[in-house]
Each structure stands twice: as structure tokens, then as C-alpha cells.
């Protein structure tokens, strides 16, 4: 029997609720498909920070290294710990330490879910650079607290970092409809973004079967709303990808439906799977968080582990449930009800 070790980091706010939901569904799928998923939960979170002064222990990264994958709920509880502290203490270090350079985010409407657009026939896969760019953390502040204060935040684009994400995006496009949109802002940012465009052209030479076009990020924002059906794979830098994927989440009916995978395509390190929504303090502890994004992220985890049958079973279950109108109304459906329906659908398939 194939067996996998999964690290569970439920985190903050609605994180624990949706992680538990996803874990139950994954266990059910594993049982049907004859897999073993061994979970080990870590309490790393803002509550942990309040207790210990750190978001995770000093050997946290070392501890995670031995797992086959990480399932994460959400990080952040800004009432108690500044986001800049909690995210730089847990989520972002994991993405960087494990070189999870591809953040993969699918945007399409699940059956029965209404998005805000009249157009519904879109199926976009956003691939966001996840380890450098605008999120590199390079910079500093001087003359703090004086009227001469200066803040510098330097975006870092390396040949290695840009090339590998582009290559990954071209390969993803090749497996889909063969259309790639590369997003920059090279009309205004004349160094890093021109570099990205040039690298896109260079890598494109190896993928003559992929139809690649470059767009500026502002134009892409408009295109995602006006002509989402014209897009297939979209690749962007860390910050642009972050913003465009919240837009993508909105198009697919809301953040409760937006799944993501932080992947190390080289498989040297564990990859991490998390819903895009975050800890949602406003609805924490109300029992109404949608578990769909977390469950979908779990399906992406199974897929990454090579368990494509189990992954398809979980996706099929989610779709069967939303097609019946269950879990399609954010803020109205109870987490428990939706989870129970998906569990039943997994077992019935």
C-alpha cells in the first residue's frame, strides 16, 4: 500500500476548520483508493507566536523537510500579530526554503457556482512566481520616525528564478491548450520587466508549439474580466500574480473557491497546498467557512503526489456537490454540511 507523510499546519482563523474538512475528505479518498495518508499536525500559528515568540520553532523548516507534502490552512491574525510578522515567520519562509517557486492557482467556475461575469466558459491556470521578485524582502528603512524617513523595497529578479518559472509555465501550457500569457509591466519598469519579456522570448524558442503573448498587468486585469475565455495559462511575477489571482478568485465566485499549490517542481523539497482565502477573521469560529478551496487544494496535493485517481475522485466529488447547489453560497452554507456532502460523494464514487 502506498503511503505518504503529510504535515498539517491548520494555522489561524478559519484555517483549522477548512484544514480539518480537507483532511477528512483526503482520508476518505485514500481509503477508497487504497492509500495511506499519515498526518502530523503542527500548531504553528499566531497563537503559537503569542506563547513562544515565534511562528514556528527554529528547526521548523528542518522538521517539515522529511514530509512528502504540507497541507496548510491559513496564516494571520492581525488583531494580535502584525501580518508582516506572521507571514514572514511562517508562510513565506516555507515557500522560499523549499524553493516552491511555482504557485499554481486554477480559476474556473465549479458547476452550480455563479461568478460575477456573464461569460462563464473560462478556464485559467495562473502560475505565479513564488520565491523572489517583489517579495524578496530586500530593503530597509532609514531615519525611522523622522521626517527624513526613507523606505526601500527592492524587487529582485534573477535569471535562474525567471527562467525556471517561465519554463514551468510553458510546460503547463503545453499540457493544456497551448496558450500562454506572460504578464509584466515593461512599459514602466524598464529593468526587471524588460528582462522578463526578453527571457520569455528566449524560452519561447524551445516551445514552438506554445502560442505565447506578453501583456502588461493593467491590460491583463481588464482582459481577465472582459475576455477571460481567451486565456489559458497566465504567468506572472510574485506581486502581479498575487493580485491577479485574487481577481481570478473573484471571477470564480469568491475566495472560498480558490485553491492553490506552492510547488517545488524539482521535487527536492515538499510542496505545500493551501486555499487562497487566508484566515478570514470576520467569519472565524462561525462555522460558515467554505471548505471547498481547501479540499480542492487537497486534490492538487494528491495530483502532485502522483495519485491522479484519488485526485480526480476528490475533484469529481466537489463538482457533484456544487452541481446540487451545496456549498455554492458563501456565508450561507455551513462548513460541516458541505464537508459531509463531499465526503458522501467521495465514498459514492
Residues forming contacts to ligand IPM in the complex (CB under 6 A) are 87, 242, 276, 278
Q: Tell me which of ligand IPM, Mn ion, none is bound by residue 87, counting a contact when its beta carbon lies within the kind-specific cut-off of 5 to 8 angstroms.
A: ligand IPM
The CB-of-43 to ligand IPM minimum distance in angstroms stands at 19
User: Which residue number, 242 or 333, has a Cβ lying nearer to Mn ion?
Assistant: 242
The option from Mn ion, ligand IPM, none interacting with 89 (CB < 5 to 8 A, set by class) reads none
261: alpha, beta or left, given left = phi > 0 and alpha = psi -120 to 50? beta
* Whole-angstrom distance, CA of residue 39 vs CA of residue 48: 19
List the beta bridge partners of residue 3.
36
C-alpha–C-alpha distance, residues 221 and 340, integer Å: 36
Of 209, 145, 147, nearest in space to 175 by CA: 209
DSSP 55: S
Query: Which CB, 84 or 148, lies closer to ligand IPM?
Result: 84
| Interacting partner of 270 out of Mn ion, ligand IPM, none (Cβ under 5 to 8 A depending on kind) | none
CB 306 within 8 A of CB 331: no
- Nearest residue (CB) to ligand IPM, 83 versus 123: 83
Is residue 276 within 8 A of residue 259, CB to CB? The reply is yes
Q: Which residue in 83, 66, 61, 65 sits closest to 74, CA to CA?
A: 83
Question: Which one of ligand IPM, Mn ion, none interacts with residue 253, CB within 5 to 8 A by kind?
Answer: none
Question: Out of Mn ion, ligand IPM, none, which partner does residue 165 contact, by CB within 5 to 8 A per kind?
Answer: none
CA atoms within 13 A on the CB side of 273: 28
Interacting residues with Mn ion (CB under 5 A):
242
Q: Which is nearer to ligand IPM, 81 or 276 (CB)?
A: 276
Shortest reach from residue 190's CB to Mn ion, in Å: 26
Residue with smaller CB distance to ligand IPM, 96 or 329: 96
Which residue has the closest beta carbon to Mn ion?
A: 242
Residue 307 Cβ, how far from Mn ion at the closest point, in Å? Answer: 27
Q: Determine how many CB atoms are found less than 10 A away from the CB of residue 34.
A: 10
* Nearest-approach distance from CB 111 to Mn ion, in angstroms: 25
Q: Are 245 and 87 in contact (CB under 8 A)?
A: no
**Closer of 132 and 242 to Mn ion (Cβ):** 242
- 109 contacts 249 by C-beta, under 8 angstroms: no
The minimum distance between CB 7 and ligand IPM, in angstroms, equals 18
> Is the Cβ–Cβ distance between 67 and 39 less than 8 Å?
no
**Cell numbers describing residue 121:** 466558459
Rounded Cα distance between 115 and 133, Å, is 31
Residue 71 touches which member of ligand IPM, Mn ion, none, C-beta under 5-8 Å by kind: none
Which is closer to Mn ion, CB of 242 or CB of 307?
242
CB of 258 to ligand IPM, least distance (A): 9
CB of 92 to Mn ion, least distance (A): 12
CB 294, min distance to Mn ion, A: 15
Name the DSSP letter for residue 149. -
Q: Which does 303 bind (CB under 5 to 8 A by kind): Mn ion, ligand IPM, none?
A: none
Q: Between 128 and 164, name the residue whose CB sits nearer to Mn ion.
A: 128
Cell numbers 461569460 label which residue? 119
Amino acid at each position: 500500500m502506498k503511503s505518504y507523510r503529510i504535515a498539517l499546519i491548520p494555522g489561524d482563523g478559519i484555517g483549522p476548520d477548512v484544514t480539518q474538512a480537507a483532511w477528512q475528505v483526503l482520508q476518505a479518498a485514500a481509503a477508497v483508493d487504497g492509500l495511506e495518508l499519515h498526518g502530523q499536525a503542527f500548531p504553528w500559528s499566531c497563537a503559537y507566536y503569542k506563547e513562544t515568540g515565534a511562528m514556528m520553532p527554529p528547526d521548523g523548516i528542518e522538521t517539515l523537510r522529511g514530509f512528502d507534502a504540507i497541507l496548510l490552512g491559513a496564516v494571520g491574525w492581525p488583531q494580535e500579530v502584525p501580518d508582516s510578522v506572521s507571514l514572514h515567520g511562517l508562510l513565506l519562509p516555507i515557500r522560499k526554503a523549499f524553493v516552491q517557486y511555482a504557485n499554481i492557482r486554477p480559476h474556473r467556475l465549479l458547476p452550480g457556482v455563479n461568478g460575477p461575469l456573464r461569460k462563464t466558459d473560462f478556464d485559467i491556470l495562473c502560475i505565479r512566481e513564488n520565491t523572489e521578485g517583489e517579495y524578496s524582502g530586500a530593503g530597509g528603512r532609514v531615519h525611522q520616525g523622522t521626517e527624513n524617513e526613507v523606505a526601500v523595497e527592492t524587487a529582485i529578479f534573477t535569471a535562474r528564478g525567471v527562467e525556471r518559472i517561465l519554463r514551468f509555465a510553458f510546460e503547463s501550457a503545453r499540457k493544456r491548450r497551448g496558450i500562454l500569457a506572460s504578464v509584466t509591466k515593461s512599459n514602466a519598469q524598464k529593468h526587471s520587466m524588460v528582462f522578463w519579456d526578453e527571457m520569455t522570448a528566449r524560452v519561447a524558442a524551445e516551445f514552438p508549439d506554445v502560442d505565447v503573448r506578453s501583456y502588461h498587468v493593467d491590460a491583463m486585469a481588464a482582459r481577465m474580466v472582459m475576455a477571460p475565455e481567451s486565456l489559458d495559462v497566465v504567468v506572472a511575477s510574485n506581486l502581479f500574480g498575487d493580485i491577479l489571482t485574487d481577481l481570478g478568485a473573484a471571477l470564480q465566485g469568491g475566495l472560498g473557491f480558490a485553491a492553490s499549490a506552492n510547488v517545488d517542481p524539482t521535487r527536492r523539497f515538499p510542496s505545500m497546498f493551501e486555499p487562497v482565502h487566508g484566515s478570514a477573521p470576520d467569519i472565524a469560529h462561525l462555522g460558515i467557512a467554505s471548505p471547498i478551496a481547501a479540499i480542492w487544494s487537497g486534490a492538487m496535493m494528491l495530483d502532485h503526489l502522483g495519485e491522479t485517481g484519488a485526485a480526480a475522485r476528490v475533484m469529481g466529488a466537489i463538482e457533484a456537490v456544487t452541481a446540487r447547489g451545496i456549498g455554492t453560497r458563501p456565508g450561507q452554507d455551513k462548513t460541516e454540511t458541505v464537508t459531509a456532502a463531499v465526503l458522501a460523494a467521495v465514498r459514492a464514487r
